[in-house]
Amino acid sequence: MIERPMFARISRKGMTIVIVIGCVLYAIPPQSIGKPLPASVTEKKNPLGFLKEIYDEVQALGRHRNERFIKREFHLNLDNNDSNKEEHVLVLNHSFSGPRMMVLQVTYFESKRQNSPVKYAKMIREIECCILDSGVEIRRCDYSTTEIRTLLPNILRGIRETKRYFYSVRQ
């Protein structure tokens, strides 16, 4: 008797299961895997609350010696590929003699050639806000409301992951 190839031995039922699992996995976006903030929370939460949490997370890192401000830089990892961090986030917290201010600057990078490790700044956008006791007041914003709803949770997640990584390495 002639032996059939392995792929021909799979039954229709088994093939159907494989196709269904493949379709389900294809439908799940990679950036949602392992997210500490589910989509239901991000839709309900006010973006101003995320700005306050970002301010508090960066404030907890403290300032460098001889500086009157706190400046921290992070990379966003939206596609879970460490070699492909295309967004750079700079957070600047300062309060001289007045309200607490925060500037959040996001630089988007792109490579000129495909699979090139060299990336060039494509666009820079900023959010400037004032942290008050009663809440957060946005002074200037280069993003639309819908863009902020998805961007701020990702920035907060990136800051927390970076802090978790560096504090776990040091200890």
* Mean confidence (pLDDT) of the chain: 75
Q: Is residue 70 part of a domain?
A: yes
Q: Categorize the per-residue pLDDT at 116 as very low, low, confident or very high, splitting at 50, 70 and 90.
A: confident
The pLDDT score that the predictor gives to residue 6 is 53
In a domain, 42, yes or no: yes
> Rounded to an integer, what distance in angstroms lies between the CA atom of residue 149 and that of residue 151?
6
pLDDT, tens digit (0-9, with 9 covering 90-100), for 129-145: 998 888 899 999 999 98
The predicted-structure confidence for 84-112, as pLDDT tens digits, reads as follows: 667 889 899 987 667 889 999 998 887 78
Rounded average pLDDT over 21-44: 47
Residue 148 in any domain: the answer is yes
- 30 belongs to a structural domain: no
**What does the buried/exposed string (b/e) look like for 83-121 if buried means 16 or more CB atoms within 10 Å of the residue's CB?**
eebbbbbebbbeeeeeebbbbbbbbebeeeeeeeeeeee
Paired tokens of 38: 């589910």
17 within domain boundaries: no
- Is 162 inside a domain boundary? yes
The predicted pLDDT at position 69 comes to 87
| 72 touches 61 (CB < 8 A) | yes
Residue 3 within a domain: no
Higher pLDDT: 33 or 80? It is: 80
Confidence check: pLDDT of 170 > 80: no
Q: pLDDT at position 19, please?
A: 62
Higher pLDDT, 34 or 157: 157
Q: Looking at the 3D structure of the chain, how many domains does it have?
A: 1
Which residue range is the domain that position 165 belongs to? 37-170
State residue 42's pLDDT score. Answer: 42
4, part of any domain: no
- For the four alpha carbons of 114, 115, 121 and 125, in that order, the dihedral sign comes to positive
pLDDT at 91: 92
Q: Between 152 and 13, where is the model more confident?
A: 152
User: Residue with structure tokens 């993003």?
Assistant: 143
